[in-house]
Structure 1
Amino acid sequence: MIRNSLVAGVILVALAYFYDRKTTDTSLDVDGTGISVEEATLNAWESTITKPSVPITKIAIGLNVNADLIVSGTALLKALKINPKNKHDHSTLHDLTHLGETFGYFFSKGAGGERYFSNGEVYKQIIDVADKIPDKQYSLGGNAGLMAQKIANTLPNVQIRFIGPVGPIAGKLFSKTINIPSGVMVEKDEVHLIMEYAKGEKWGEDVAPVATRFITSNDIANANLARLDMFVKSVIEFKPQMIVLSGLHLLDGHPQETRTRLLKMMRNEIIKMPRKVPIHLELASMANADCLAEIAQQIFPFIHSIGLNEQELVFFSQANHGPHQDLKPVNGYPEIAAVGDIVSWLLGKYSGGSSKLARVHFHSLTYHLIATKMDTWQNSASAVAAGARVAGEQACMTKPIQPSKVDLLIPKAFSLSVDNIQLRQQVVIYDPARPVTLWNRDGVDFAFSPVLVCRKPGNTVGLGDAISATGLLYSMYSIETK
């Protein structure tokens, strides 16, 4: 029996290697059609993606919003006279040395990161220098603000009410179709610094493996959940079909006592919201394991859905003693089977009983995965494909996606689990004519789709928010469940 299992395992590995080598060339002729796997995937998405039978027409979104100041990360560090020396991931930034070391850490890995800058005076000096860089750009920022903007631009007929500390710069950048109550406006924007870099760009001895960005801020209003007191009142008045929340990652820099107080405030406000209206929480990069664990304990049982990327998922597993805590991207993607295991564990740990949590939308550079408890959310195949498609559209800044400008970077053969024996023995051979892979594990439905990765992205900011927003628009919650 052991020998047979070993032989089967060797065959599966060899089969995966063969198919991966066979389809590495993206100009591969698919079924004799003369088209690439990218074009075939795009064509199949068109027939796969269907809108839910009950479309969403009203959404309430909050709380974090700011003005993003976007600059070249390496250009800013040079202007600040910071040299590429040591690389170290500081959980909180206190000075210019911390900024240079933490940027270098994420740059070398090609991973997007976000860290709080604790020294307001030094941060203001950095912003003053960044504001003088010739190619700088201001853009709407904040996960909640970006999700509202994406929905408004995608479906202008959807009614959106946004609640958060909206300053004068952000106010001008918001779509005119978004309803912003006058009482939420503030005199001064919180400014977040977006330090972008391109694939192949050099910083010291390192070469960036992918194009992405590092974010830092000294955000006071959003970190204190400003306008939370107005959110529930506005939601009840507005009567939305869905509620989207974000900004809890900004509690990362608070002392535990302050953080606990703010999370209890958030939980108490969530409890007041209409029970049959699904609530989605979008997470973002964090460095404080205790904060993330406390968010899960205090907030997860009272929301219906979460969105997160590979850094947040792995850190979540580390903070809560989950599986595959040492998972790292290989060749640009986190192992699909291991991600499936962590998502399955997450839902198993935090759903069930009185908990409302029943959906996880995982997004990474190369693929997305939506997992839902059976009979709670519908249309996940369309939702994961639509989210994957919008990632390429927004990164390349072209609609529709041009096949010649994107690459399929997932392994062409992969298993569905590391820990589950039955799923581990299944090798999925990627078929571009069927770009969404579906499976069930312990009462959880999984939907997987690759992303067509833009070769020369024109935009790296807000991709996760656009992905999650799009996935929600194509999902449908079964209100009879809880």
Structure 2
Amino acid sequence: MKRFPPKKVPSGAEVTAQPKLEKCVRCEKTVYAVERVEAGGQVWHKGCFRCGTCDLVLNLNSYKQADQQLYCGKHYQELVLAKNTQTPVSLTRLETAYHAFPQPEPGPLVIVGFGGCTDITVNAITFLESLGVNSTDTTRHSKRKENSEVELNTLEDIVEEFTQMFAAGAAAERYVKNKELFDYLVSQATANAANPDELRRDGKRGYLSLGGNAPVMASRLASEGAEVTLAARLSSKETQALPSKIKVLSAPSSFGLPSIPRTDIHLVMEFDKGSVWRNFTAPRANRQSVYLNVAILRYILIRDEENPRLSSLWPDLLSSWLKYGNRGDGGVKDTSTSYPDLFVLGGLQTMDNAVISPDIRGERLESLKHFLTVKLPRATLIHFEMASFVETSFVSNLTQTILPYVDSIGLNEQELPNLRSLLIEGRVASQASVSTPRAAVMLDGMREIWSAMTDSSQLPKVGIGLRRLSRIHLHTLGYQIIMVRRPAGGVEFDPEMIAKAMEDPDFVFKGKATELGLAWPYTKAAVAKASLIAHRHTCASANVDPELTRLLMDDSFAVTADPARWPSALHGASSCKVPRIQFNSTSPVSCWFEDEPTSVSNQNERSNRVEICVAPVPVCRKVIRTVGGGDNISAAALRTQVIGRRKSYHGSR
């Protein structure tokens, strides 16, 4: 691969061939060659190349660098490495201290749907160059107009859209309408794969692996002790790549699909932060861009046949689960009181922008709505894993048809503003968000979504299937945030209280526990678990190495960026002095209670509160894998917060 050195210009600026004067990072004066020192992509005068703590003059053999700051060895050890060491230790202590009250073995019953795929993971730049695309073309790309749809019919369309995502440092998943083009891209990628005849369980660059939200989340939930059933039509090769303890329920063929399921392929094009494509360096300039391998981003191309039709959802799904799926010996003695503790819904982004004939996507969403509202009992918690959507009409239909019937949503920093825009403004967000947004901005976005999805005046008038959102999990590169409903007064959870609540069948089966804020316990442990899984998954290691760790979260963050809109977040403080949460490496998870977010007109009507927990992520600097990161993180946190019901309400297990 031909490599091009990064140009020291702001991200997104056009690269020119003209030489430019360099400025010293410290004194901001011109640096000439005789006094020039370069480290970590930045330039100093020799005399300015000093420890930011003790002012000791450094050299290229003695300096250390973190968060764009220079350190001598002593202060790097005391201020950076100690912090990087203590934070994961404290998070692990929280994780291991979590012991839910005794639960039925082998854990809560979970159904995960729908579908799956095979991922082919490639280096985006190398792959595009192999197709003859010029990686040094400095022609400015045209930004997508607001509310315009993304339609990929040619290689030029793909390059154009990829360039926009690359420049923004944003991940995306897009449907390719041209079948011949997609088949060609897949054949080119497969020809260079190291394992064309078998699938790995983890996606690494240059390999084929089992993919899709549902299989990945099912695998993580099973590894964390849940009893998992996956609703998916998979090929034999894909089924063999699953952990053996996961049960697979495969729907009969329908919609003209073959009885033996086709393999839906996802082409995962990865690019490193700090890599150069055309006149851009990924991502846009920000405080973390100095770490060239702190993360990897993905641009995914799909053209599914099975998944856009929701072929894994069929009328007898739940009855089949009752008969075969919820225990290993073929059934239950009493099915009248047996139900899953949790249903996880993912993979709906494969329906976005999909070209299928006839277009039955609206009908399939209605079938899914029927399953969620009629088939599943109110006692089953429903989690929806958000994804990247671009087709306004489809995703608007999804928000109206499906979202009123879920208890929990998982999403990342790109998907949160998109969902907020859909709920508040009725359109897909026109631009990608920053890759590491301020915590206060994300907290306000979560409050906006919560308010829109729990306001009784805005919810559709439906029957008993209606649910009010009771949990949001935001996973970002630098931090994790979980927001859950709690009773008025901010009740802390203990095992005895949960056990007592679950003894009342009326309380459980009618969903009163969720409505009153008694579902989703152990938020602090869950957010700590999510942060650790983020590191373990990307580093492909069970341990956290401080030398390979960076904390991107600020030393403090404001609880809101809009105190006038969210006065309940201030806890009585003046809007002129917004409270800030200080980071403490010995106690890194910060939790607090505030009034449940609501619309401006209904601020006096809510009796519930929310609990919010924020945890920094010990970010992996030597990334091994990224595919499935969000799914693993979300599933691990769910497992911590899902409590298996008592045996008498499941039947014989």
TM-score normalised by the chain length of structure 1:
0.87
1:441 maps onto 2:594 in alignment: yes
1:82 is aligned, of 133, 153, 176, to 133
Q: Give the conservation status (yes or no) of the 8 Å contact 1:62–1:231.
A: no
1:37 maps onto 2:83 in alignment: yes
1:283 maps onto 2:386 in alignment: yes
1:432 is aligned, of 563, 585, 594, to 585
Closer/same/farther in 2, CA of residues 105 and 54 from structure 1, 3 Å limit: farther
1:232 maps onto 2:318 in alignment: yes
CA RMSD of aligned residues (A): 2.9
Q: Residue type of the partner of 2:542?
A: K
2:618 is aligned, of 438, 447, 452, to 452
Closer/same/farther in 2, CA of residues 327 and 250 from structure 1, 3 Å limit: closer
Distance 1:91 1:112 in 2: 15
Distance 2:79 2:354 in 1: 57
What secondary structure is seen at the aligned counterpart in 2 of 1:285? coil
Distance 2:76 2:100 in 1: 30
- Output one character per residue of 1:282-326: Cα deviation in whole Å (capped at 9) or x when no partner: 111111233333222211221211111111111112222269978
Q: Is 46-55 or 124-133 further displaced after alignment?
A: 46-55
Q: Residue type of the partner of 1:266?
A: L
Distance 1:385 1:289 in 2: 35
Q: Give the conservation status (yes or no) of the 8 Å contact 1:276–1:479.
A: no
Q: 1:95 is matched with which residue?
A: 154
1:296 is aligned, of 399, 411, 425, to 399
1:189 maps onto 2:276 in alignment: no
Distance 1:379 1:219 in 2: 38
Q: Residue type of the partner of 1:122?
A: L
Q: Residue type of the partner of 2:190?
A: D
1:46 maps onto 2:92 in alignment: yes
1:266 is aligned, of 365, 368, 372, to 368
Distance 1:322 1:454 in 2: 36
Q: Give the conservation status (yes or no) of the 8 Å contact 2:388–2:415.
A: yes
Q: Which runs of 4+ in 1 moved over 4 A?
A: 21-35, 182-185, 254-257, 322-330, 477-480
1:358 is aligned, of 455, 470, 477, to 470
Distance 1:251 1:200 in 2: 32
What secondary structure is seen at the aligned counterpart in 1 of 2:630? helix
Q: 2:22 is matched with which residue?
A: none
Q: 1:179 is matched with which residue?
A: 247
Distance 1:417 1:91 in 2: 33
Closer/same/farther in 2, CA of residues 281 and 54 from structure 1, 3 Å limit: farther
Q: Give the conservation status (yes or no) of the 8 Å contact 1:146–1:462.
A: yes
Distance 2:89 2:175 in 1: 42
2:218 is aligned, of 148, 154, 157, to 148
Distance 2:443 2:626 in 1: 25
- Output one character per residue of 1:4-36: Cα deviation in whole Å (capped at 9) or x when no partner: xxxxxxxxxxxxxxxxx9894698979979952
- How far the C-alpha of 1:247 sits from its partner, in A, is 1.6
Distance 1:446 1:134 in 2: 43
Distance 2:185 2:299 in 1: 14
Q: 1:248 is matched with which residue?
A: 348
What secondary structure is seen at the aligned counterpart in 2 of 1:129? helix
Q: Residue type of the partner of 1:140?
A: L
Size of the aligned set, in residue pairs, is 457
Q: Residue type of the partner of 2:635?
A: A
- How far the C-alpha of 1:260 sits from its partner, in A, is 2.4
- Output one character per residue of 1:350-378: Cα deviation in whole Å (capped at 9) or x when no partner: 12654232111111111111111112321
Q: 2:528 is matched with which residue?
A: 385
What secondary structure is seen at the aligned counterpart in 2 of 1:40? helix
Q: Give the conservation status (yes or no) of the 8 Å contact 1:167–1:190.
A: no
Distance 2:537 2:74 in 1: 25
Q: Give the conservation status (yes or no) of the 8 Å contact 2:112–2:229.
A: yes
- How far the C-alpha of 1:479 sits from its partner, in A, is 8.1
Closer/same/farther in 2, CA of residues 445 and 141 from structure 1, 3 Å limit: same
- Output one character per residue of 1:456-478: Cα deviation in whole Å (capped at 9) or x when no partner: 21101000000010010111369
Distance 2:404 2:425 in 1: 18
Distance 2:580 2:430 in 1: 23
What secondary structure is seen at the aligned counterpart in 1 of 2:550? strand
Q: Give the conservation status (yes or no) of the 8 Å contact 2:87–2:586.
A: yes
Q: 1:62 is matched with which residue?
A: 113
Distance 1:246 1:282 in 2: 5
1:115 is aligned, of 174, 177, 180, to 174
Q: Is 73-82 or 31-40 further displaced after alignment?
A: 31-40
Give ranges in structure 1 of 5+ residues lacking alignment: 1-20
- Output one character per residue of 1:244-272: Cα deviation in whole Å (capped at 9) or x when no partner: 11122222114897432221111011121
What secondary structure is seen at the aligned counterpart in 1 of 2:543? coil
Q: Residue type of the partner of 1:428?
A: I
Give the number of the structure whose alpha-carbon radius of gyration is greater.
2
Distance 1:247 1:38 in 2: 35
* Correspondences of 1:457-476 after superposition (within 5 Å): 457-476=623-642
Distance 1:143 1:253 in 2: 18
Closer/same/farther in 2, CA of residues 130 and 34 from structure 1, 3 Å limit: closer
Q: Is 274-283 or 214-223 further displaced after alignment?
A: 274-283
Distance 1:303 1:95 in 2: 37
Closer/same/farther in 2, CA of residues 325 and 163 from structure 1, 3 Å limit: closer
- Output one character per residue of 1:165-217: Cα deviation in whole Å (capped at 9) or x when no partner: 21133122111111113556834211110011223222222222342111011
Distance 1:33 1:75 in 2: 39
1:200 maps onto 2:274 in alignment: yes
Q: Give the conservation status (yes or no) of the 8 Å contact 1:329–1:335.
A: no
Q: Is 121-130 or 292-301 further displaced after alignment?
A: 292-301
- How far the C-alpha of 1:235 sits from its partner, in A, is 3.7
- Output one character per residue of 1:125-145: Cα deviation in whole Å (capped at 9) or x when no partner: 111111122553101111011
Closer/same/farther in 2, CA of residues 470 and 254 from structure 1, 3 Å limit: same
Q: 2:438 is matched with which residue?
A: 335
Give ranges in structure 2 of 5+ residues lacking alignment: 1-51, 54-65, 195-205, 253-258, 284-294, 327-338, 457-465, 487-516, 596-608, 647-653
Q: Is 345-354 or 272-281 further displaced after alignment?
A: 345-354
Q: 2:123 is matched with which residue?
A: 72
Q: Give the conservation status (yes or no) of the 8 Å contact 1:396–1:457.
A: yes
Identity %: 26
Q: 2:185 is matched with which residue?
A: 126
TM-score normalised by the chain length of structure 2:
0.65
1:372 maps onto 2:484 in alignment: yes
Q: 2:544 is matched with which residue?
A: 401
